[in-house]
Structure 1
Amino acid sequence: MTVAVPPTPFTATVLGLPRIGPHRELERAVEAYRSGAADAAELHTTARELRYAHLSVLAAAGLDSIPVGTFSYRDHLLDTAVMLGALPARVLDIADPLDRYFAAAQGTGTIAPLRSAQWFGTEYRHLVPEIDKQTRFSLHPQKLLAELAEATALGVPARPVVVGPLTFLTLSEHADGDPLDRLAEVVPLYQDLLARLADAGASWVQLDEPILGTDLTTTELARLRSTYAALCGTPRRPAVLVATSFGHNDSALAALSDMGIDGVALDFTAGATLRSVASIPALTRKLVVAGVVDGRDTWRTDLDAALSTLGSLLGVTGSVAVSSSCSLLHVPYALTPAPGLDERLRPFQACGAEKVTEIRILATALAEGTEAVATELRAAREATTQPIRLR
């Protein structure tokens, strides 16, 4: 049965997590595996320990919805290509799945890797999947289901995260034709994935669609509508949250909101506004995940301004959750191990751990009132209003 009433909305989250470890543990483990100094079991053990640490830290911080599936040995677009059976033909003869993955990511002596491209104005460079007439899509969701099972076993309120079909196809390299012409092949696989995630116990799923924050043609908006009408019409599925980080498009948001989604994550640091949200009647029945803590830079959040935005949103939406504007993979883990940081800047800075704390403070203030976090708000106010003196 299609989801008719979303599950209880969550209140505090982030849209994604760092991958390489606070001391670059994953990077070193991958290098050891690729050089032959470590085997696959050792690499997988390091990865699992990092994922467990991430889950434990976010749960302890009080987040009531925690992303899973954002872990990657290299890149989330490549992981999506693997999930959809869309690796290039030149790596398919490699029998071992892990070696096949790294051949696509980094190449070998005889195989060229996928090229990379800038990810929506950030310093991160994603790998570009290659799609041609020989590409035959098929669903391989084992990685995502395994990471969901890990989190569930730990009692973590997990929310699977997947790159959405529009963003995946648009950012891929196509030998010919309009990339969105392949939606008819890909959307049924996403429908199958949604059903499998529901069967595995997921109450929410996050589909990352940053392409919806860019300028879209009339044809692209029509394909947005048909895609999400199909996905949200899946007979059995979790509640669908669509994340549109790094930009904002009023037309895309209006179209998306009418297609049966259950929530939308908006980037209030990159174009989303109260006015645009208030102008869409359908959002009065949705969860709005408000990205008021910037996940792209290392400056502290103006918590008073963020609270003002959040409070106003409560009056025009079904419910509000506090979030980072995008995945925290774009910032260091924490200020503590940040070598070379000018100590005079430290009071103004916030990395991953500090941004999670800001989210918790804002969510508590929204739910219980500012008196519940008066000390934290006062400290943040003092830190962000003092002048920076570097001389």
Structure 2
Amino acid sequence: MSRITSGNLGFPRIGKQREWKKAIEAYWSGKLEEAELHRQLAEIRSEHWKLQKNKGIDWIPVGDFSYYDQVLDTAVMFGLVPERFEYDGGPVPLETYYAVARGSKTAAASEMTKWFNTNYHYIVPELGNREPELTANLPLQAYREAKEKLGIDGKPVVLGLYSFLKLSKGASGNLREWSQKLLPLYVRVLRELEQEGAAWIQVDEPGLVTFVSDEDLALLQDIYRTISAEVPQARILLQTYFDAVERYEEIVALPVRGIGLDFVHGREGNLQALRQHGFPGGKTLAAGVVDGRNIWRSDLPAVQAFIDEIAGLLADDSDLIIQPSCSLLHVPVSAQGEDGLPGVLKDAMAFAEEKLEEIAALRQALHGENPALLAESRQALERLNADPSRSRKNVQEAVNRIAQQPAERLSPFEIRHTEQQRVWNLPLLPTTTIGSFPQTAEVRAARQKWRKGEWTTERYDEFIREEIRTWIGIQEDIGLDVLVHGEFERTDMVEFFGEKLPGFAFTKGGWVQSYGTRCVKPPLIYGDVEFDRPMTVKETAFAQSLTSKPVKGMLTGPVTVLNWSFVRSDLPRETVAYQIALALRKEVEALEEAGITMIQVDEPALREGFPLKPADRGAYIDWAVKAFKITTSSVRDTTQIHTHMCYCEFHDMIDAIRDLDADVISIETSRSHGELIQSFEENTYPLGIGLGVYDIHSPRVPSEEEMMAMVRRALQVLDPKLFWINPDCGLKTRGREETVAALKNMVSAAKRSREAIGSSIPVN
């Protein structure tokens, strides 16, 4: 092996204090001019580049920064703006860029879905009839900026053509045609970067860790042969992450100078392939050995030994880059200032900055420098493992028992449905919402005053009761059939429960980007999880006392709590999911005991944890479904269990959704309604279901006609006696006026749809 250097794949764009989010939202609200937005975001970029340089990173990514989403950036770079946004070509205006992501008064936003198996969401490119053009070489602009401002010879980051096509709508069946359209533009981007002097160009191809057919492989080989022939001097680092690469032999043989592999989440598969097939001499291996998706420190002595093993498999003329397993976009920026955590926990954490320090320490150790830096990481992890929170015998014994037992409702759905309809006598096409209502500045201010001790608990509780009173009244005035209490006492849907469950901890500044400027602060699951006290009964029971209509209890499901947290790494995720499920089961039982007989257990992140390898999916679905059923299966037949899921591809898990055995499932589909309907044309769904009839992520108020059209389309394949009408997600981030207006239109659309169907259809 010739040389060892350090690298990074991407850095969180939001800033330590979420400066990125605040600047963009100020621009959206008209409080910041576009020129000032550009200036502030450029300052954030520069700070990130300087930080990585100061941490000792040799290959600093440039072009990973975005004003919203990196996939959207690629689409607009090639002029792929949907026709409804009235774009005429050339550089894409910022207003249009944000309209594609968020919608406008006249055009619906593009679809949003999960970025592989992470909690990050990307804007799905739409490949319509527009001919692509290079509107701006964004990676080149970033490369020049870093070099001119800071003297940094950065590593431009480009989303690879193959993965871009795989992530786009309209490419299916036309991959080769679209490749021929876009490949000359990709070549131009890479040629201009090479001519500018970029030493490495990181071309991200995460699609290569998913299934790669023979046809896909042929297309991929054609793409990279063309690039090699057209830009022979470009040093392309073909970067994969999130799992082991498929078709290893063929991928490492592509005519590129380097290959990036994930040796954390794809460790066994990539290592086995490396051992079996070797690695081409003369190429650089970029080894992702520090976890870019979790917040725990690495056991650096073990990682060093692993790197030594990898190095031993490389030829003498191959270089090695030590780097994170993926972009650090998925972890918070810095663990500095997290002094509110127990020392044993804080010492065991590593956010983005600390992970860069780990990369630099490994590089130093591999060069025989500062070996003592590595021992400290192991000692910190050993102290955490010895903490009493990780040895709650009652929890461990209960999980061992439940893992061996079936979890099923008392009666099949047909019997439950009849009993529930007898109790509630709901109309055809009942209307409801997903759970949350707008959290105004007043609500957030009240919570802060309470947390700071400026308000007593009694005063804060009365404030929350007033908000509930107001919104129960609004819901009744609108005419909704099933109500919710509004969740005004909650910040984040996972954080709220984690704060009340032993085994969880929370950071002050551990924010990560979920979609657009939406940032979340995932809890840390570091110990055994157990039920301590009722968490939602007080507010839900109060809301139910104000109305004769049913009020749903609202919980976050065990798999979502798991997938939206930073999870301890010393136990299988299945075991942690069962711990959470047992705790939530007791909360469900407490709600039922208090007279709440509609209970929604949301699982928006169920699909998010879907393994990228088909061979691994069966086991995940088995324990994920079981965790949900552990939570919900102990209730009476007359207690109606609802659940909710967010944007994702459902066609490959319809069976799993059915196996949850929820009485009603609502699915967030307004941006991709037709695609999901197609899934139900091919798969019968015999339980209650609501397909979101309008997009809550956009500020526009949809018309009755739009929502009725969605209902008509859905009822072509779904039973009207089992169909519910609802928004596609919670309304926490929306304004009051637009929320009320949209819900009024939704209820009117439901009434008109009932009339159109005809009252002769029996509801029972």
TM norm structure 2: 0.48
1:39 partner amino acid: E
1:90 partner amino acid: R
CA distance in 2, matches of 1:77, 1:204: 21
CA distance in 2, matches of 1:228, 1:338: 45
TM-superposition CA deviations, 1:141-182 (whole Å, max 9, x none): 333222111111221130000100011010011176344441
CA distance in 2, matches of 1:362, 1:155: 25
Residue 389 of structure 1 corresponds to 387
CA contact (8 A) 1:283 1:316 kept: no
1:257 partner amino acid: V
CA distance in 1, matches of 2:286, 2:72: 26
Gaps of at least 5 residues in structure 1 are 1-7
Return 264-273 or 286-295, whichever deviates more: 264-273
CA distance in 1, matches of 2:11, 2:211: 27
What secondary structure sits across from 1:385 in the alignment? helix
Alignment partner of 1:270 out of 265, 270, 289 = 265
Residue 101 of structure 1 corresponds to 97
CA contact (8 A) 2:348 2:377 kept: no
Residue 196 of structure 1 corresponds to 192
CA distance in 1, matches of 2:232, 2:225: 14
2:254 partner amino acid: M
CA distance in 1, matches of 2:174, 2:337: 46
What secondary structure sits across from 1:216 in the alignment? coil
CA distance in 2, matches of 1:163, 1:342: 40
Aligned residue runs from structure 1 range 183-332, under 5 A = 183-251=179-247, 253-272=248-267, 273-317=270-314, 318-332=318-332
Aligned residue runs from structure 1 range 316-355, under 5 A = 316-317=313-314, 318-338=318-338, 341=341, 343-355=343-355
Shift of 1:196: 0.5
CA distance in 2, matches of 1:307, 1:218: 37
Residue 26 of structure 2 corresponds to 32
TM-superposition CA deviations, 1:93-148 (whole Å, max 9, x none): 4897110101011112222111111111111111101112x121111333322211
Shift of 1:17: 1.0
TM-superposition CA deviations, 1:31-67 (whole Å, max 9, x none): 1111111101110111110111011111111111100
Aligned residue runs from structure 1 range 9-88, under 5 A = 11-88=5-82
CA distance in 1, matches of 2:125, 2:171: 11
CA distance in 1, matches of 2:69, 2:304: 34
CA contact (8 A) 2:137 2:189 kept: no
TM-superposition CA deviations, 1:231-285 (whole Å, max 9, x none): 122245420001111111341x321222211001100012243331233355232
Shift of 1:10: 6.5
TM-superposition CA deviations, 1:326-379 (whole Å, max 9, x none): 00010000112458755542122111011000000111111x22xx22221121
CA contact (8 A) 1:313 1:320 kept: no
CA distance in 1, matches of 2:172, 2:132: 16
CA contact (8 A) 1:365 1:373 kept: yes
Residue 3 of structure 1 corresponds to none
TM-superposition CA deviations, 1:55-81 (whole Å, max 9, x none): 111111111110000000100000000
CA contact (8 A) 2:6 2:359 kept: yes
1:203 partner amino acid: A
Indicate how the Cα distance of structure 1 residues 221 and 342 shifts in structure 2: closer, same or farther if over 3 A, else same. Answer: farther
CA contact (8 A) 1:361 1:373 kept: yes
CA distance in 2, matches of 1:175, 1:202: 31
1:359 partner amino acid: I
CA contact (8 A) 1:224 1:255 kept: no
CA distance in 2, matches of 1:243, 1:127: 21
Indicate how the Cα distance of structure 1 residues 388 and 131 shifts in structure 2: closer, same or farther if over 3 A, else same. Answer: farther
CA distance in 2, matches of 1:158, 1:15: 11
CA contact (8 A) 1:62 1:360 kept: yes
Residue 144 of structure 1 corresponds to 139
TM-superposition CA deviations, 1:158-210 (whole Å, max 9, x none): 00001000110100111763444411111111111111001111111000000
Residue 365 of structure 2 corresponds to 365
What secondary structure sits across from 1:173 in the alignment? coil
Indicate how the Cα distance of structure 1 residues 101 and 350 shifts in structure 2: closer, same or farther if over 3 A, else same. Answer: same
2:145 partner amino acid: E
Indicate how the Cα distance of structure 1 residues 250 and 108 shifts in structure 2: closer, same or farther if over 3 A, else same. Answer: closer
CA contact (8 A) 1:15 1:327 kept: yes
CA contact (8 A) 2:245 2:261 kept: no
What secondary structure sits across from 2:297 in the alignment? coil
CA contact (8 A) 1:194 1:237 kept: no
CA distance in 1, matches of 2:341, 2:183: 46
Indicate how the Cα distance of structure 1 residues 35 and 155 shifts in structure 2: closer, same or farther if over 3 A, else same. Answer: same
CA distance in 1, matches of 2:325, 2:109: 31
Indicate how the Cα distance of structure 1 residues 178 and 96 shifts in structure 2: closer, same or farther if over 3 A, else same. Answer: closer
TM norm structure 1: 0.92
Shift of 1:216: 1.1
CA distance in 1, matches of 2:343, 2:86: 50
What secondary structure sits across from 1:246 in the alignment? coil
CA contact (8 A) 1:16 1:326 kept: yes
1:207 partner amino acid: V
What secondary structure sits across from 2:249 in the alignment? helix
What secondary structure sits across from 1:162 in the alignment? strand
What secondary structure sits across from 1:203 in the alignment? coil
Indicate how the Cα distance of structure 1 residues 339 and 25 shifts in structure 2: closer, same or farther if over 3 A, else same. Answer: farther
Structure with the larger RCO, 1 or 2 (CA within 8 Å, 6+ apart): 1
Indicate how the Cα distance of structure 1 residues 175 and 233 shifts in structure 2: closer, same or farther if over 3 A, else same. Answer: closer
1:267 partner amino acid: D
Shift of 1:229: 1.2
What secondary structure sits across from 2:347 in the alignment? helix
1:288 partner amino acid: L
Indicate how the Cα distance of structure 1 residues 375 and 125 shifts in structure 2: closer, same or farther if over 3 A, else same. Answer: same
2:377 partner amino acid: A
Gaps of at least 5 residues in structure 2 are 390-764
Among all aligned residue pairs of Structure 1 and Structure 2, give the percentage whose two residues are the same amino acid. Answer: 36
Indicate how the Cα distance of structure 1 residues 175 and 212 shifts in structure 2: closer, same or farther if over 3 A, else same. Answer: closer
CA distance in 2, matches of 1:337, 1:124: 25
CA contact (8 A) 1:194 1:234 kept: no
What secondary structure sits across from 1:11 in the alignment? strand
Let me know the Cα RMSD of the aligned residues: 2.0
Return 9-18 or 327-336, whichever deviates more: 9-18
CA contact (8 A) 1:116 1:125 kept: yes
CA distance in 2, matches of 1:340, 1:169: 45
CA contact (8 A) 2:301 2:375 kept: no
Indicate how the Cα distance of structure 1 residues 81 and 9 shifts in structure 2: closer, same or farther if over 3 A, else same. Answer: farther
CA contact (8 A) 1:86 1:131 kept: yes
Indicate how the Cα distance of structure 1 residues 173 and 10 shifts in structure 2: closer, same or farther if over 3 A, else same. Answer: farther
CA distance in 2, matches of 1:82, 1:337: 38
What secondary structure sits across from 1:284 in the alignment? coil
